């Protein structure tokens, strides 16, 4: 399987995705469309993973529109897609939903709660990394997967092979350090989780997060 990863900032990399790919002997390729304006073709994509970033799907940038065209093609071909944060928002835009300012800006560690049992093996609660101030709407035909105390729309599953999460399960220790060192100021402004970059970096990444992430990836490619 060829996994194509769309990365949108140097501070938010693939994290545990590389470990999952290696575990299953898949090939992984990382694209940086925000810098090089290069995207994979749908015909060379078996699984698309769309990572987070500081941009908004509402920004009028050509590469953002081209990303959505790729997502549209893969949806038509019933290929699996996973989106984190901005990536999930991009998927919902393709599915005719708006991306709006969230009622609360969430930056830091906080719980999310599973809303249904459609993906077997997911725990009822996870302590996850939030890094956003916009949110997606749940697309027509999709199931709400997770909610948090501050923002209801935290995850969805669509068509059995597409999952979008408003939060992050993929970061490991070095990924969290990279995010907080390079983008830590984002946590200091109007953050309704009231956590500093230092506090976020000092939190141990829960082992359950990688396990849940692998469960989701296994589900959408099965």
By percentage, how much of the chain surpasses pLDDT 90? 100
Phi, psi of 64 (to 5 degrees): -65, -40
∠ CA 198-203-205, nearest 5°, is: 135
- Average confidence score pLDDT of the chain: 98
How far apart CA 97 and CA 139 sit, in angstroms, is: 6
Q: Which of 7, 147, 9, 159 is nearest to 94 (CA)?
A: 159
Give me the residue label for tokens 């469309």.
Answer: 33
Please list the alpha-helical segments (H only) found in 10-161.
17-23, 33-36, 62-76, 86-94
* CATH 3.40.50.880 for the 2-221 domain, yes or no: yes
How far apart CA 91 and CA 75 sit, in angstroms, is: 9
Sign of the alpha-carbon torsion through 155, 190, 177, 35 = positive
19-48: average pLDDT: 98
By percentage, how much of the chain surpasses pLDDT 70? 100
Q: How far is CA 154 from the centre of its chain?
A: 10
pLDDT tens, residue by residue, 118-162: 999 999 999 999 999 999 999 999 999 999 999 999 999 999 999
CB 52 within 8 A of CB 13: no
pLDDT tens, residue by residue, 160-212: 999 999 999 999 999 999 999 999 999 999 999 999 999 999 999 999 999 99
Total number of residues shown for the chain: 222
86-107: average pLDDT: 98
pLDDT tens, residue by residue, 45-72: 999 999 999 999 999 999 999 999 999 9
Query: For position 190, what pLDDT does the model report?
Result: 97
């Amino acid at each position: 399987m060829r996994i194509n990863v769309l990365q949108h900032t140097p501070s938010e990399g693939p994290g545990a995705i590389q470990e999952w790919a290696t575990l299953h002997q898949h090939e992984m390729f990382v694209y940086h469309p925000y810098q090089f304006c290069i995207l994979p073709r749908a015909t060379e994509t078996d699984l698309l993973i769309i990572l987070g970033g500081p941009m908004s799907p509402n920004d009028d940038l050509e590469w953002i529109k081209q990303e959505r065209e790729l997502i549209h093609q893969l949806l038509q071909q019933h290929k699996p897609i996973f989106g984190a944060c901005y990536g999930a928002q991009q998927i919902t835009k393709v599915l005719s939903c708006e991306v709006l300012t969230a009622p609360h800006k969430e930056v830091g560690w906080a719980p999310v709660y599973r809303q249904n049992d459609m993906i077997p093996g997911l725990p009822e609660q996870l302590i996850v990394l939030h890094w956003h101030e916009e949110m997606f709407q749940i697309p027509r035909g999709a199931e709400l997967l997770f909610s948090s105390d501050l923002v209801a729309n935290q995850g969805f599953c669509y068509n059995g092979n597409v999952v979008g999460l408003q939060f992050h399960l993929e970061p490991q220790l070095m990924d969290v350090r990279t995010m907080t060192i390079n983008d830590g100021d984002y946590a200091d402004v109007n953050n309704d989780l009231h956590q500093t970059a230092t506090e976020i970096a000092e939190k141990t990444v829960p082992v359950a997060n990688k396990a849940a992430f692998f469960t989701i990836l296994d589900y959408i490619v099965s």
